[in-house]
Chain A
Amino acid sequence: MKKLLLICLVLLLSGCVDKEILDDINIEVGVGYDLAEDPKDKYRGTILFQEFQPDKSVINRTFSGNGKLRQDLIIDVTRQSSEPVVTGGLKVAVFGPKISKLGIYDLIDSFQRDPSIGARVFVITSEDKAEDLLKGEYGTRGNSTYIYNLIQHNIEHRDIPKTNLHLAFRNYHERGRDMFLPRLKKIANDKVELIGISLFEKDKEVDILPLEDLFFFKLLVDKYSEGNFDVQLKKGDLAAIKSIKSTHKIKITDNHAAININIEGIVREYTGTKLTTAVVKDVEKKLEKKVERECLKLLKKFQELGVDPVGLGQIKKTQHRNFDYKKWEDDYKTLGFEVKCNVNIEETGIIE
């Protein structure tokens, strides 16, 4: 018994590890990076903390610092913070417009290297400075939760393809595929809005996909499980299609990519007089046409930009042995596309 006590005592004295007691630390929940004004430093970073009030409302606190490495920023901020800064609670990482054009690999890489950072962090780009975006006051549950939930539900129900730190990193490293990130804009001090998707070539932003294109973009790169889309009919009538489920199949032969998109949905709203079978057929036709047209346009655009967020290269690799990525880079420029869409409207709501 004495021996046991002695062992316990020794362990307690020498085995103890540094504690991070929940209320004695400052948990970094969001971080933003902008290009530094002073060229000596590489970037200016902003760290977002949450301060919980007794009534559980949240006060957003931001600290900014300059540095060359991600670590510099934390050191900088620690000098201003009353408690040690920890990174394990990170939810959102924002990149400002200038820095995303210059390349963000170093920073994303340091996220992957840090074991305390989760894989479900959302990496986003911002229209204006990331610092400003984080300094808003959105909702009552804190900025990071607000932005996180905003993107989360847009992925689940709307037009943003599945994304998070892990997927961004995977796409970045996948040969024959390029990374894309959702793009946000602060429109007022208490309002933030999704405005599109940033397309990257390697780690540099090359173009922004506007909101209108996102539906077709998601059809190409991801699956819909619950989407919405409005179809304009001839007579000026509108039909809203909901519960869209989509799948896509891409087949690439030597110099030709055949893309098959399958859509299932339900008509929820219709502004015309009567929703007959003929109208439903018409809706299907219209949507098919539109998808085919728009998707082709998108693919052409990607080709021009020299980016490949759809991952055509990778898809071709999975379909051909001894794939040569070098050759693909040239092939991609001349690749021909063919988009086929098949829409199937199953229900028309509870009235006819």
Chain B
Amino acid sequence: MKEQPIPERLQISPFLVFFMVMSIQIGIGVLGYQRIIAMDAGYDAWISILFAGGCIHVIIWMIYKICDTAGGDIVTAHKYIAGNFIGKALSAIFIGYFILFSLTVLRTFIEVIQVWMFPEINTFWFAFAFMALCVYIIFGGFRTVVGISFFGLVLPAYLILTFGWAIKFSNFYNLLPIWDHSIKELLTASYHMSLTFIGFESIIFFYPFIKEPKKSQKWAHLAVLTTTLIYTTLAIITFAYFSEEQLSKQIWASLTMWKIVEMPFVERFEYIGIANWNLIILPNVCISVWIVSRLIKRVFNIRQKVGVFFIVAVVLFMIIFLDTRDKINMLNDSVGKMGFIFTFIYIPLLFAAVMIAKKLKRGKKK
């Protein structure tokens, strides 16, 4: 049973992987990761970001190796090591993970809106409109999803510059002395940082859609590198802007930093920033919903269009029950943990399994 290759007109150029990876990585976490990592490693936490970023390169390398060896996405890889039925069963687990992922991102974003802009905005109806837009995007096919990822990264890129205003009120001596924390603390911070980094593992799902996938590997690495640098820079500015105890109170440190921005025509920037964040969140949700619908199609042989509606229905149903900060936090934590397990434990295991399977199959042929 040979899988049908993806026709070329549906595939994307290798360099677009750069935008895909970055736009799914940068999402809701950027708004408040500084506090979480500073809790463990204090103002040395930027080292942890670099370390976590470094680890991810290894995982990316593994992902490409897995996909290259199995010749397809994760479903193919599962079939490659465990046969058709178990392979599909293994793949089905990720349907749940990515549904939860999109749910978390969307709900947390709505929470930000509710806290910062419109306390009365109706969670369900905003989610409904948002998901309707997602359906419209996904029905345009993978290329449209990538297109939105591209714009979702390029258009709001100017937001990075707005953090420059904070520099005037920063004290970079805050970061001194460097290396004031133990390795263990730094590693714990790295672990927490990895939650902000997750998302790049989606490569393993859309790998067959890349034209000349091998060429795209360097773009994936470059994307992770850029994200790491952005996160590090932002963290350093944040650490300089806040005092340590003050930061520990800021749930959304990045948003709070926008309060200092003042332009001749705009007195307060955070409202513009949050509105713009809609464009950054959109690819996050779209890519994950697309991945789930693709998985459903591959595992259960259900048409992708039907799958999309199913996911949207599930997300909209579940979002009604997420009404308090505690529940949202719990969801965030558990999705973060799942993501960590998936990327940093499961993928290396899968990598090992694929390598072993490859050796065995080669042995059989001889």
State A118–B122 Cα separation when bound (angstroms). 26
Q: CB distance B118 to A17 under 8 Å? A: yes
A164 proximity list for chain B (CB < 8 A): 169
Q: Is A68 an interface residue (CB 8 A)?
A: no
What sequence of 0s and 1s flags, for each residue 171-215 of chain A, a beta carbon within 8 Å of any chain B beta carbon? Answer: 111110100000000000000000000000000000000000000
Q: B127: shortest Cβ distance to chain A, in Å? A: 11
Q: CB distance A322 to B243 under 8 Å? A: no
State A169–B179 Cα separation when bound (angstroms). 26
What sequence of 0s and 1s flags, for each residue 152-168 of chain A, a beta carbon within 8 Å of any chain B beta carbon? Answer: 00000000001010110
- Of the listed stretches B170-178, B293-301, B318-326, B342-350, chain A binds B170-178
Closest to B246 in A: A173
B243 proximity list for chain A (CB < 8 A): 170-171, 173-175, 177
State A321–B121 Cα separation when bound (angstroms). 48
A11-B125, A112-B249, A119-B259 known; A170 and B118 CB under 8 Å? no
State A18–B116 Cα separation when bound (angstroms). 13
B116 proximity list for chain A (CB < 8 A): 115
Q: CB distance B179 to A321 under 8 Å? A: yes
Q: Is B245 an interface residue (CB 8 A)?
A: yes
Q: CB distance B245 to A173 under 8 Å? A: yes
Q: B292: shortest Cβ distance to chain A, in Å? A: 23
B180 proximity list for chain A (CB < 8 A): 321-323
Q: Is B242 an interface residue (CB 8 A)?
A: yes
State A17–B179 Cα separation when bound (angstroms). 48
The A/B interface has a contact count, at CB < 8 Å, of 74
What sequence of 0s and 1s flags, for each residue 211-250 of chain B, a beta carbon within 8 Å of any chain A beta carbon? Answer: 0000000000000000000000000000001111110010
What sequence of 0s and 1s flags, for each residue 283-305 of chain B, a beta carbon within 8 Å of any chain A beta carbon? Answer: 00000000000000000000000
What sequence of 0s and 1s flags, for each residue 213-237 of chain A, a beta carbon within 8 Å of any chain B beta carbon? Answer: 0000000000000000000000000
What sequence of 0s and 1s flags, for each residue 116-130 of chain B, a beta carbon within 8 Å of any chain A beta carbon? Answer: 101111100110010
Q: Is A253 an interface residue (CB 8 A)?
A: no
Q: Which of B125, B177, B241 has a CB less than 8 Å from the CB of A319?
A: B177
Q: B312: shortest Cβ distance to chain A, in Å? A: 13
State A118–B259 Cα separation when bound (angstroms). 5
Q: Is B58 an interface residue (CB 8 A)?
A: no
Q: Which of B118, B177, B246, B270 has a CB less than 8 Å from the CB of A321?
A: B177
Q: CB distance B246 to A170 under 8 Å? A: yes
Q: A344: shortest Cβ distance to chain B, in Å? A: 24
- The count of residues in chain A whose C-beta lies closer than 8 Å to any C-beta of chain B is 34
Interface positions of A from 318 to 334, Cβ below 8 Å from B: 318-323
State A314–B118 Cα separation when bound (angstroms). 39
Q: CB distance B126 to A166 under 8 Å? A: no
Closest to A117 in B: B259
A321 proximity list for chain B (CB < 8 A): 177, 179-180
Q: Which of B115, B125, B260 has a CB less than 8 Å from the CB of A166?
A: B260
Q: Is B86 an interface residue (CB 8 A)?
A: no
Q: Which of A11, A166, A170, A173 has a CB less than 8 Å from the CB of B129?
A: A11
Q: Is B132 an interface residue (CB 8 A)?
A: yes
Q: B264: shortest Cβ distance to chain A, in Å? A: 14
What sequence of 0s and 1s flags, for each residue 150-179 of chain B, a beta carbon within 8 Å of any chain A beta carbon? Answer: 000000000000000000010001101101
Q: Which of B122, B174, B246 has a CB less than 8 Å from the CB of A15?
A: B122
Q: CB distance A162 to B169 under 8 Å? A: yes
Q: Is B256 an interface residue (CB 8 A)?
A: yes
Q: CB distance A175 to B245 under 8 Å? A: yes
Q: CB distance A318 to B177 under 8 Å? A: yes
A10 proximity list for chain B (CB < 8 A): 125
B115 proximity list for chain A (CB < 8 A): 115
Q: CB distance A118 to B268 under 8 Å? A: yes
State A166–B262 Cα separation when bound (angstroms). 14
Closest to A315 in B: B173
State A173–B132 Cα separation when bound (angstroms). 45
Q: Which of B122, B173, B270 has a CB less than 8 Å from the CB of A318?
A: B173
Q: Is A53 an interface residue (CB 8 A)?
A: no
Q: Is A120 an interface residue (CB 8 A)?
A: yes
State A15–B129 Cα separation when bound (angstroms). 9
Closest to B179 in A: A321
Q: CB distance A174 to B245 under 8 Å? A: yes
Q: Is B267 an interface residue (CB 8 A)?
A: yes
Q: CB distance B245 to A17 under 8 Å? A: no
B118 proximity list for chain A (CB < 8 A): 17-18
Q: Is A14 an interface residue (CB 8 A)?
A: yes
State A88–B120 Cα separation when bound (angstroms). 17
Q: CB distance B120 to A18 under 8 Å? A: yes
State A265–B116 Cα separation when bound (angstroms). 45
Closest to B255 in A: A115
Q: Which of A14, A17, A319 has a CB less than 8 Å from the CB of B176?
A: A319
Q: Is A258 an interface residue (CB 8 A)?
A: no
Q: A221: shortest Cβ distance to chain B, in Å? A: 11
Q: A122: shortest Cβ distance to chain B, in Å? A: 13
Closest to A15 in B: B125
A102 proximity list for chain B (CB < 8 A): none
A25 proximity list for chain B (CB < 8 A): none
B132 proximity list for chain A (CB < 8 A): 7
Q: CB distance B126 to A120 under 8 Å? A: no
Q: B213: shortest Cβ distance to chain A, in Å? A: 38
A120-B262, A319-B176 known; A15 and B121 CB under 8 Å? yes
A323 proximity list for chain B (CB < 8 A): 180
Interface positions of B from 162 to 218, Cβ below 8 Å from A: 169, 173-174, 176-177, 179-180
State A88–B271 Cα separation when bound (angstroms). 12
A115 proximity list for chain B (CB < 8 A): 115-116, 270
Q: CB distance B260 to A120 under 8 Å? A: yes
B268 proximity list for chain A (CB < 8 A): 88, 118
Closest to A17 in B: B118
State A192–B115 Cα separation when bound (angstroms). 37
Which 5 residue pairs are nearest across A and B when measured between Cβ atoms?
A: A318-B176, A119-B259, A174-B243, A173-B246, A17-B118
A-B contact pairs, 29 of them (CB 8 A): A7-B129, A14-B122, A15-B126, A17-B118, A115-B115, A115-B116, A115-B270, A118-B267, A120-B260, A162-B169, A164-B169, A170-B241, A170-B243, A171-B243, A172-B246, A173-B249, A174-B246, A175-B243, A175-B245, A177-B243, A314-B173, A315-B173, A317-B177, A318-B173, A318-B174, A318-B177, A319-B176, A319-B177, A322-B180
Kindly list 16 other residue pairs between chains A and B, CB separation below 8 angstroms, not including A119-B260, A173-B249, A323-B180.
Answer: A7-B129, A15-B129, A18-B119, A88-B268, A118-B267, A119-B259, A120-B262, A162-B169, A167-B169, A170-B246, A172-B246, A174-B246, A177-B243, A314-B173, A315-B173, A321-B180
